[in-house]
């Protein structure tokens, strides 16, 4: 059984590739989080400040508020799909940065 050597975190952190990877992650995660929170909080704000608009019937008894609420599920799945695609690239980049140390 072979023992893996521990990662030298100080050397890893000093690499420009590692810092670039962190910057890429930050550039995706922070805007995605802000968008998600604004989209999520828009429903109660819109219902509170514009109740008549949100009561507008779209199809049968389904109103704008219901459509917006259901769109949040779609938005969450799309955001999750995008995150998985981007995170796969980050994993490859992280592996190349870590293996570059060895």
Residue ranges of domains in the chain: 12-101
Distance CA 101, CA 78 (A): 35
For 1-102, strand residue ranges (E) read: 57-59, 62-63
pLDDT single digits (tens) 73-101: 999 999 999 999 999 999 999 888 888 75
CB neighbours of residue 18 within 10 Å: 19
Is the distance from CB of 49 to CB of 41 less than 8 angstroms?
no
Name residue 57's beta-bridge partners: 63
pLDDT single digits (tens) 53-75: 999 999 999 999 999 999 999 99
Distance CA 98, CA 102 (A): 7
| The predicted structure's pLDDT at residue 1 | 46
Kindly tell me if the per-residue pLDDT of 52 is higher than 60.
Answer: yes
Q: Between these two residues, 14 and 25, which has the higher pLDDT value?
A: 25
| The predicted structure's pLDDT at residue 101 | 55
């Amino acid at each position: 059984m072979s023992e893996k050597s521990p990662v030298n975190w100080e050397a890893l952190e000093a690499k420009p590739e590692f810092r670039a990877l962190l910057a890429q992650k930050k550039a995706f995660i922070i805007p995605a989080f802000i968008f998600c929170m604004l989209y999520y909080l828009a429903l109660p704000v819109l219902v509170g400040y514009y109740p008549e608009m949100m009561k507008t019937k779209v199809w049968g008894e389904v109103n704008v508020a219901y459509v917006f609420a259901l769109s949040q599920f779609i938005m969450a799945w799309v955001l999750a799909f995008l995150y998985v695609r981007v995170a796969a690239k980050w994993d490859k980049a992280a592996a190349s940065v870590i293996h570059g140390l060895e």
